[in-house]
Structure 1
Amino acid sequence: ESITPYTMALVAKYIARHRLRETQLLDTIAEFLVKKAEYLDSKVIQKLVFPFSRMNYRPSNEDAFFEKLESVLELKAMNSPLATVNIIMSMFQLGHFPRAILNQVFSPAFINNVINSPYALIVRRYLSLLDSAVELEYEDYSGPRLEERYKVMMFDHALTADEVNRKYSYKGLVAEALRQLVGEQCYKQDEVLPPGYYTDFLLWINNSGSVFPIENTFQIFIPGKEKDCEEEEGGGTETIHRVVMSVNDKWHYCHNADILVGSRAMRDRHLRLLGYTIVQLPYHELEKLNGIEEVKHYLREKLLELQLIWSSADG
């Protein structure tokens, strides 16, 4: 009871920064929020909620936790629009979709409140991604949606953490192995896919494992449509799978755990719903490899696993 919101926010910040999935601490923060949220500023609530999505953790009192967040946001949504969309994004990453709040943030009143503000672009980016998430994961929602004229790509470049840590990443090693394995024309690196998800490597592969040269433009795939067909010269069709190879470095996981951070997990979830096949290349597997030949063998094995999965599905 004696802990102040400022102190609790510092604890939350430390947990998130160091990716500590300390469930007891997180549950304590959740209890604090349930008791105090109506007395807290939206920006403080945002700081307290963030570690839950960051650590991809739903607290033990999740029903009361989400109910409290929704009730408070209904009252305070307009007070700090940027904090509001950040909180909603955290809930989306945790797989919780607050219908009443969505009605507010997609409303003309909310949009008009932010459109001429200094943070208009970042709010539009969040709203665009939220709108895509609704399309993909919240079929029952029938309220207002974000107008096309306000939609922008969430990201158009690598995330800051990936840029800062690039020299520690295994991506360069994987890129060279992939270049030797399939050739530069048969994969795209650092591609940003609608609705704005940054990817490591994109490949087009058929059921037999052949890798095809990639065209320069990409269509937005229909949610739930798992495969696309390309016409063959003989007039038939062949299934082409869009494959995303994801180099999951240490900072993409919770500390000392094999659980992806919430933003990464939601990205993968959405890309799958958009029809992409995700191939995970976790750092704890890559760090065991010695030299380019072992990495090439590792990638061959990953591609072979895909063939077996696809063959089994077709059979």
Structure 2
Amino acid sequence: MLCLRQVSLFTLRHCQVRTLSNDLLLSQINSCTHEDEVFSLIGRNKARLSEKHVGSALNMLWQLQKKRPLPLRTSNYIRNHSQFLTLHVLAENSVEHMENEVVVDTLYSILRLNVEDHDSLAEVLVTEAWKRLERLSLPALSKFALCLYKQHVRFSPLIGKIAHIVDRKLDSIQDIRLLVTAVSMAEGFSSHQVLVTLKTMQKMKCRNSHLLKKMASILHKHLDNYHVLQLVKLTQYLVLLRCHNLELFDKLKKLLFGFLKSSVIPGDIAAIIRVLAMLPSSQVEEIIINKATAVLPQCRLPHLNCIATALVKWNHYDQLHWQNTSELCAKLLQKLNDCGFQRLQKANNLDLLLEELTYVNGEWFEEVLCEETMATCQRLTDQITWANVLPFSFFLIKTNHRCASLLDRISSVTVQNIDKIHPFEIYFILYLFSVLNYDPPANEEFFENCIQRLISNLSCFETHHLVLLGHVLAVAGYFPPVLIKMIFNVSFLSKLDAQLEVLSDTSKQKVRSCLMKLNRAVCLECPEFHIPWFHERYCQHVLFKGSRRISSLRQHVHRMLAEILGGSHYTRVSVLTPYYYEIDFECILDKNKRPLSYTAQNILLDDLEGIHLRHDIKDTERRALPLGAQKIALEFLGPKAFSKDSRQMKGESAMKKRHLEMLGYRVVQIPHFEWNSMVLSTKEAQLEYLKKHLYETQ
């Protein structure tokens, strides 16, 4: 470490005079597309690194991470890399020579990479930024404020002076997290600063009415300074933030129509049409239809999707007021469908197709293009390679399609190229097969190869990622001992608790839910691990918050079951099992297929209107059953339990059935496509259907 510091000081003293106008190394750093490329450049050029190279490298590491979905980020891998230590030391010794913006950007980058709370570089950067506080630009000041919030330093008396200075610059120190800069300073905002502030507010779901009104009031003087796509984004932010300034929206509408009339770029036209449909009291006008019709042949799939989304929205809100406009819209939609089909049928490059499909979703795609898209992908199956297997897996996850030929190809490519695929990518590939409940032809080989690759690289995963990985494997029926013992360890769980504190509420809830499900699965399927069930209180808390009334379907079926079995006291509705599975209906048949009555405590049929979800599980199901008796769990499976256009049950539902059987139930699952079919359109047919499934021999 001492040698590294000496080298860094020598390097920095001799590199300060270097200009950046023709700095090839800086250009190479800023052109990196993967973290390993950054580290490779650092390793080969230690003697040439200036403070600007160091700042750019740390910033680039965060920029590369930011582009990835949250579950794919690898901050743990970055922080533990030897070249990150090099950057850390070089940055710490060159802080005084950094430009103002670089100091703040570097601090922001390392904090987003989740360095420790008392990291020495972070402390040095905070101190340096404090010295320059009065010289920081407003965007840099806002970013520095965010850094302070992330470090919780606003509660520290040691740097109370920083909070005091920032408090003079910001409207409220309590709103640092949301980038709420001083309202009194907002008058001096540039058009770009207003746009960035609204973007951040929308991203963080900050609907501070005072700030929003202030931003809206100063927007008027900047509206003419925005180019078309900035205006589109601005309008979108204001709508999503629920701005109610109708005068501002009227001005935006006029400007957008002006751009629409003059624009000839398909992407711009599609974006304008999409955002026009978001405006309050928006209506379809003939110019919209004419411009869209003119550019359709040049539109890519995302552009077609934008236009279709707008038309669908207008149609839903019954805003096609005039007969001639309605007819024009119908013709436009048909032409739009045709263009979508033609583009898919002409597609011959899977990588280019995946780029377009990344930004395509919604009702139009699902109802019109999805089937043709799957056919196109099957035609291009041979183009699935290890390099595009991840985005292709993402596409199948998004569409919820269980196409055997495509999944088989993914499995084959993965096994053949297992060493070339990053462990995080393998996680998502396994997620695809697990969630769709699909076993490829060489199922054991596929899962064993993937699991071995993952187990050899567990250090690459963040703590909460390991929980998600364990849950994905459990759904598929795999419980690698190394992973399970690592997760259900006091030290690991303590570390997980600490990490959950910095995750978003949504991510936090997902991880906690997956940990509970993994705990349940291990207890039921792997008792030899001797892992205790420790989620009783968590499940009770979730159930208490999520209490709901019994649906009309359940009431209807409960009455029919009562008719079949001879009374409502022979069945129970919304029952909680041990380990907190909820089942729609439960009944008990003795060895002669006769129903057994529940206790007098059971809820009567006449009381159904006021029933809420039962929270008690310490009930008659805990008692020993008479010899030969059988508990029956009757479950209704809605569309979410199945993959699209398939009658194959998805992974979570399959695991639930597996676990209920382990708990002693005979499980009767009623798919929505059977219950809602014409064959069961009468009560008599439904009664016969239920009777057959209840009394059938397993």
Alignment TM-score > 0.5, same fold: yes
- Aligned equivalents of 1:37 and 1:172: distance in 2? 54
Q: Which residue is 1:274 aligned to?
A: 663
Return the match for 2:624 from 228, 234, 237: 228
Percent identical pairs in the alignment equals 20
Residue 299 (structure 1) aligned with residue 690 (structure 2): yes
Aligned to 2:229: none
Paired residues of 1:191 and 1:200 also in contact (CA < 8 A): yes
After superposition, what is the alpha-carbon deviation per residue over 1:160-209, rounded to whole angstroms, capped at 9, x for unaligned? 9xx9xx99x96565344235444444333333323232322122332332
1:218 to 2:617 alignment = yes
Distance 1:198 1:51 in 2: 25
Q: Which secondary structure state, in structure 1, belongs to the residue aligned with residue 407 of structure 2?
A: helix
Which residue is 2:588 aligned to?
204
- Tell me what 1:133 maps to: 521
Letter in 2 for 1:110: F
Partner amino acid for 2:483?
A: I
Residue identity opposite 2:458 in structure 1: K
Could you tell me which residue of structure 2 aligns to residue 103 of structure 1? 485
CA distance, structure 2, for counterparts of residue 61 and residue 154 of structure 1: 41
Matched, 1:52 2:433: yes
One-letter amino acid of the counterpart of residue 196, structure 1: Y
- RMSD (CA atoms): 4.0
Alignment of 1:121-160 (within 5 A): 122-139=510-527, 141-142=528-529, 145-146=531-532, 148=534, 152-153=538-539
Asked if structure 1 preserves the Cα contact closer than 8 Å seen for 2:668 and 2:693, the reply is yes
SS in 1 for 2:680: coil
| Distance (Å, rounded) in 2 between the aligned partners of 1:9 and 1:154 | 37
CA contact 1:33–1:65 (8 Å) conserved in 2:
no
- 1:228 maps to amino acid: A
C-alpha distance 270-21 of structure 1, shift in aligned 2 (>3 A): same
- The alpha-carbon deviation at position 271 of structure 1 amounts to 0.5
Q: Distance in 2 between matches of 1:130 and 1:221?
A: 27
User: Following the alignment from structure 1 to structure 2, what is the Cα–Cα distance between the partners of residues 149 and 156?
Assistant: 10
**Aligned mates of 2:580, 2:629 — CA distance in 1:** 22
Q: Distance in 2 between matches of 1:77 and 1:201?
A: 44
Letter in 2 for 1:198: E
Mean CA deviation greater in 100-109 or 201-210: 201-210
Check 1:133–1:293 CA distance in 2 against 1; reply closer, same or farther (3 A cut): same
**Would you say 1:290 and 2:681 are equivalent positions?**
yes
Displacement, 1:25? 1.8
* 1:92 equivalent in structure 2: 474
1:211–1:150 CA distance, 2 compared to 1 (3 A) = closer
The 3-state SS of whatever aligns with 1:195 is coil
Separation of aligned partners in 2, 1:66 and 1:76: 15
1:194 is the counterpart of 2:578: yes
For residue 243 of structure 1, what is the amino acid of its counterpart?
I
Residue identity in the other structure for 2:516: S
Q: Is the 8 A contact 2:426 2:450 kept in 1?
A: no
- AA at the equivalent of 1:117: Q
Written as runs of structure 1 = structure 2, the 5 A alignment for 1:232-247 is 237=626, 239-247=628-636
Q: Output the CA distance in 1 between the equivalents of 2:495 and 2:627.
A: 49
- Please report how far the alpha carbon of residue 125 of structure 1 lies from its aligned counterpart in structure 2 after TM superposition: 3.5
**Does the 8 A contact of 1:37 with 1:68 survive in 2?**
no
* Bigger shift: residues 182-191 or 267-276: 182-191
Residue correspondences, number: 287
Considering fraction of residues, name the structure with more strand: 1
For structure 2, the 5+ residue unaligned runs are 1-381, 501-506, 603-613
CA drift of 1:106 comes to 1.2
Task: Give the residue type in structure 2 aligned to 1:187.
Answer: T
- Which of 380, 398, 422 is matched with 1:40 structurally? 422
Counterpart among 458, 466, 470 of residue 76 in structure 1: 458
Q: 1:261: Cα distance to partner?
A: 0.9
Q: CA deviation at 1:2?
A: 8.5
- SS at 2:666's partner residue? strand
**CA-to-aligned-CA distance 1:88-129 (integer Å, 9 cap, x gap):** 222222222211111211122321111133356543443333
What residue identity is the alignment partner of 1:282?
P
Which segments of 5 or more consecutive residues in structure 1 lack a partner in the other structure?
A: 230-236, 310-315
- Normalised to the residue count of structure 2, the TM-score between the two structures is 0.36
Q: Conserved in 1, the CA contact under 8 Å of 2:386 and 2:420? A: no
CA distance in 2, matches of 1:172, 1:17: 34
Query: Does the 8 Å CA contact 2:523/2:532 hold for their aligned counterparts?
Result: no
2:561 maps to 178
Which one has a bigger Cα radius of gyration? 2
Answer 1 or 2: higher relative contact order, Cα 8 Å, separation at least 6. 1
